Amino acid sequence: LLWEGAKDKPELAPQLVFFGIARNYCKANNIVLDPETDFGRGPVDFKFSNGYVHRAHLEVKKLHNGKFWNGLDRQLPAYMASDEVEKGWFLALRYRTGKQWDKRETELPSRVHAAAAAHNRDLRAALIDARPRESASKL
């Protein structure tokens, strides 16, 4: 669902996969999940809410996106500030192999901690390794 042959699909594809999976979990737990909610600074990828007090934002970025760190350092905190949300998640998707992507993956926890402190927000991150794997039947 994340690949078109040898080419990774646009960020919308993993967002739709996430929405398709998370939607029923949220529904079962009385959590409202809104995709592409715009608070005047552009649309955050997902907003979760259970009443007004319990709200969070989720931003999805490919690790190889040229604006990857901007998504964490500026974009997600701006959305959170606009909506007065304290909790945010930054979901990184790794599609490529290489030292520069290893470096970004390694730096992610410390950069999240720094962004959380700089913006006085509860920021967390998760990384999904979306690199293609050889089928076990071919090993």
Q: What is the pLDDT of residues 93-119, one digit of tens each?
A: 999 999 999 999 999 999 999 999 999
Instruction: Give the Cα separation of 97 and 57 in Å (integer).
Output: 28
Please give the model's pTM, rounded to 2 decimal places. 0.91
Task: Write out pLDDT tens, residues 51-79.
Answer: 999 999 999 999 999 999 999 999 999 99
SS3 138: helix
